[in-house]
């Protein structure tokens, strides 16, 4: 037993000696670091937008009738004046024939009335010299004048009747023309809700179709009241027209995430806040020569905002505690957290107003378990490669 105790004691002393003689392990871990840079960055404010053709014209019937022909199809491009629909004309044709016959009858009446005027005038002319020579009494001449006046009145009535008959005929002709419904503008045909056999008329609530002139389009988006006043404060110019004129060209992001190839310009801002939504509307014009955009499309307006010579660090280098943002600055291979003021976050980068200066070294990523005062082994990397590597891939 004594020997065993001696052996254990010797072993314990040996282990203790080994621990005392073993070299200390370095606690510093490697961390990627970058130099704080100054860059020119463009950020974007985004707003949902609805797209409409420059002109949207509802097509309606001017007369009542049944559709007998559809001459176009949905999505078809039509030119101004092109026939779109035909309505029945049987009754109209009969009315036109009757109106034309009325003109003929009125002309016959005029001819008869004119003959009566001529005869009455001859009678007056014949009696005048006889009365002058006292061959006959003046009463006969007065009677002849009365007959002439009556014949002239009947002639005027006949002429008026012809004018009315002519107007009736032209009205029927116009209705026959209205039975061919034509495109009021050039553009793209929308939905065709009514088919052949449908009864249509000028008081219908649903239009026959809508034609959209999409040679250029308008994108409408809205700002709330706060965004609007921020916009006014930050836009260059003393008046609203000047502010609009100085705005940069904007981009349109389509529903599938791609960018429309043409940039647009803000043309107008509505003059008042919508009391229902509390927003004010902006109108942006886009060229649409290739007809890629249609009436009713949706998208997102990207309003650019430029930051010149701004301090930039990767977003992965920042962390937040109780609303305060920090980064780890590296000094003498030791990480030290410092408070920074973030202006904006764009494309996985944080744009800073203060807290660090250009050229200072900071920990770029992997700061989850890092504490202020912790030794680090700096591994320099390029910020662009880090930012690009964490961008989402679509």
Query: Which alpha helices (DSSP H) does the chain contain, by range?
Result: 2-21, 90-132, 138-178, 225-234, 240-246, 383-389
- pLDDT average, residue stretch 151-171: 85
**Domain 211-307 bears CATH identifier 2.40.30.170:** yes
Higher pLDDT, residue 351 or 10: 351
Q: How far is CA 19 from CA 12, 56, 335, in A?
A: 11, 88, 30
Q: Is the pTM of this model over 0.75?
A: no
Q: Tell whether the model's pLDDT for residue 251 goes beyond 50.
A: yes
What are the pLDDT digits (tens) for 293-351?
A: 988 899 999 999 888 999 999 999 999 999 999 999 999 999 999 999 999 898 889 99
Q: Tell whether the model's pLDDT for residue 20 goes beyond 60.
A: no
Q: Tell whether the model's pLDDT for residue 362 goes beyond 90.
A: yes
Class of domain 62-86+180-210: mainly beta
**What are the sequence ranges of the domains in the chain?**
29-41+308-388, 62-86+180-210, 90-179, 211-307
Class of domain 29-41+308-388: mainly beta
Higher pLDDT, residue 163 or 27: 163
| Cβ(294)–Cβ(254) below 8 Å | no
Residue 351: other Cβ atoms inside 10 A: 18
């Amino acid at each position: 037993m004594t020997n065993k105790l001696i052996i254990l004691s010797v072993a314990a002393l040996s282990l203790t000696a080994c621990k005392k003689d073993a070299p200390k392990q370095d606690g510093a871990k490697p961390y990627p670091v970058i130099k704080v840079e100054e860059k020119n960055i463009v950020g974007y404010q985004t707003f949902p937008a609805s797209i409409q053709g420059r002109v949207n014209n509802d097509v309606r019937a001017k007369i009542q009738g049944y559709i007998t022909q559809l001459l176009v199809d949905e999505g078809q491009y039509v030119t101004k004046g092109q026939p779109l629909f035909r309505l029945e004309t049987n009754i109209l044709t009969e009315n036109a024939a009757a109106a034309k016959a009325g003109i003929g009858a009125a002309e016959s009446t005029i001819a008869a009335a004119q003959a009566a005027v001529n005869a009455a005038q001859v009678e007056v002319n014949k009696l005048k010299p006889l009365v002058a020579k006292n061959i006959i009494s003046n009463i006969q001449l007065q009677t002849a004048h009365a007959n002439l006046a009556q014949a002239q009145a009947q002639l005027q009535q006949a002429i008026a009747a012809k004018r009315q008959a002519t107007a009736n005929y032209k009205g029927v002709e116009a209705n026959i023309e209205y039975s061919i419904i034509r495109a009021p503008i050039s553009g793209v045909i929308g939905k065709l809700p009514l088919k052949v056999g449908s009864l249509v008329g000028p008081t219908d609530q649903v239009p026959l179709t809508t034609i959209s002139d999409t040679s250029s389009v308008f994108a409408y988006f809205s700002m709330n009241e706060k965004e609007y006043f921020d916009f006014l404060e930050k836009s260059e110019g003393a008046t609203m027209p000047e502010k609009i004129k100085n705005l940069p060209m904007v981009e349109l992001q389509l529903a599938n995430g791609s960018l429309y190839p043409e940039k647009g310009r803000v043309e107008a801002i509505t003059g008042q806040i919508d009391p229902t939504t509390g927003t004010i509307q902006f109108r942006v014009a886009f060229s649409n020569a290739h007809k890629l955009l249609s009436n009713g499309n949706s998208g997102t307006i990207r309003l650019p905002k430029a930051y010149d010579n701004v301090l930039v660090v990767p977003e992965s280098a920042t962390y937040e505690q109780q609303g305060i943002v920090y980064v780890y600055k590296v000094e003498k291979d030791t990480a030290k957290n410092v408070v920074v003021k973030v202006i904006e976050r764009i494309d996985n980068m944080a744009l800073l107003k203060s807290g660090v200066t250009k050229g200072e070294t900071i920990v770029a990523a992997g700061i989850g378990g890092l504490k202020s005062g912790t030794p680090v082994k700096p591994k320099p990397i390029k910020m662009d490669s880090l930012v690009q590597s964490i961008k989402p891939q679509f």
